[in-house]
Structure formats: structure tokens, C-alpha cells
Amino acid sequence: MTVNILAVGDVCGKTGINFLRQNLSEVKKLNNIAFTVVNGENANVVGITPAQAENIFSAGADVITLGNHTWARYEIKEYLNANARILRPANYALRCPGFGHGVYKRPFGDIAVLSLMGRFTLDSNTDNPFYVADEILAAIDTRLIVADMHAEATSEKAAMGYYLDGRVSAVWGTHTHVQTSDGGVLPQGTGFITDLGMTGPAVSVLGIDPRQSMEKFLGEPPRRYEPAEGPGKMECAVFTLDTETGKCVTVEALRIY
């Protein structure tokens, strides 16, 4: 038996949330999706609020993963402790609130989701995600396991994919907001894509007003990011997993406008 798992790239701002609410249900129906993981750390452009998380869940997400902007909105902290379906990176310090992984019961069997974060250029006080992944995998007994590797460097994401190849069902990268064209199955049966892309303003620089990004590179003083206006898009990938072996059969990247 196979099941289709949908992984959705970073939801950015109001446009991203609205586009997700308007389109996720149809995307799931057309692709016979059994389980959906959405990265939501940019729902507030920087960070996420409890209300925004609830909007993403109501749109059809089973699990929300986060990243380096997890703590940008103070009010999310108690929400993380109260809801095991939203995951902050597991390699944050142990004193940080919330959960870094979860195991979720579904009709097709249990599925584990890991949230991991890279360390290259991300100014966060985190443990080594490779060692933390080892610790989590040693503690769970689940055939279907997927991981969101939130990282800046494509090399760090790819390294994690190969490091977990054969030990998890799928690894996908988030954070850089540009969908990559390398989706496929690694030699030992793990589905992988370097970056899912972004769910947010279609005409933007990584979700931000292009004028602001240009001004930054022209030397203007820094200021709070302003999300771009206009139509949205959703970038994501479908991982088809074998429930008997836990291996990935196919990976298909999708881009919806």
C-alpha cells in the first residue's frame, strides 16, 4: 500500500495564508493526499501567532513545522507547549518550549515528523541537527518518518538527506523560499528535495516587496520587512511512500498559481 504525503513550503504573510486556505483542499483532493505538513514560520512574515497557526490548521494542515523565526512572536510560546501538532526545531535547547518531533496516528499507520534546523549562517543557539536526528530516531519505532530540514545552505540540506537516507521516508528543505528542481529518491529509498519553495506573494523577493529588497541592496537603512501585495502561489511536493517498507516511491514538486 502507498500513501501520498504533501509537504508545503514556507507560508509567508497574509497572502500565503489566504492562498493556502483557498487552494490546499483542492490540491489535497487532486493528489489523493493522506497527510499534510506545512512550514508556517513566516506566517507573520517573521514568526507566527497562535491565530495564524489555527488558520493553517483549518486550511487542512495536519502538522506545522517552524524554523529560525520560531521565537519572533512571544505569544506562540505557550501555544507550542499546548499543541503537539506544531513543531519547533528539535535541536533548539531543551529549555525551549514546545516539541521538536511527533508521532501521529492515522488510518494508514503511525507517521513521525521531525523538525530540524541547520546551523550555517543561522544565528541560533542550536545543537547539531545530525546528532539530534540520531537521538530521535533511536527513541521512536515508526516505519513512516519524514523530516523538515530548515536551513540556509543547500549543502547542509543535501547532507542531511544523504545522512538520513534509508533511515527515514522523506527529507525536504525549507527556509530559502525558492523551489529546487532536484526532487527524487535517494539511493537507499529516502525521498528528497533541497527546498520546497514558498507559499505567498507570487511577485516578490522571497515574499517581500521587491522595492524594499532593492533598497536594502542599494544601501538603505534596514527596516521591518513588508510583504508584497498581489496574487499568491503555493509551492510544495508530494512524496509517495510505501507503508510496508517505509521507503519513498516517487517525489513530485508542484507549483500552484
- Please indicate whether residue 101 is annotated as part of the active site: no
Q: What is the 8-class DSSP label of residue 222?
A: P
First to last CA, the chain: 31
CA distances from 142 to 88, 109, 146, 240 (A): 20, 9, 10, 17
CB atoms near residue 238 (< 10 Å): 21
Distance CA 249, CA 257 (A): 26
Distance CA 233, CA 177 (A): 12
Name the residue with cell 517525489. 251
Backbone angles phi, psi at 213, to 5 degrees: -65, -40
DSSP H helical ranges for the chain: 13-30, 50-59, 76-82, 129-139, 154-163, 210-217
Q: Count Cβ atoms within 10 A of the Cβ of residue 181 and give its class: 0-12 exposed, 13-18 middle, 19 or more buried.
A: exposed
CB 99 within 8 Å of CB 79: no
Catalytic hit among 69, 101, 150, 177: 69
CB 145 within 8 Å of CB 246: yes
Coil, helix or strand at residue 244 = coil
Q: Give the catalytic positions in this structure.
A: 69
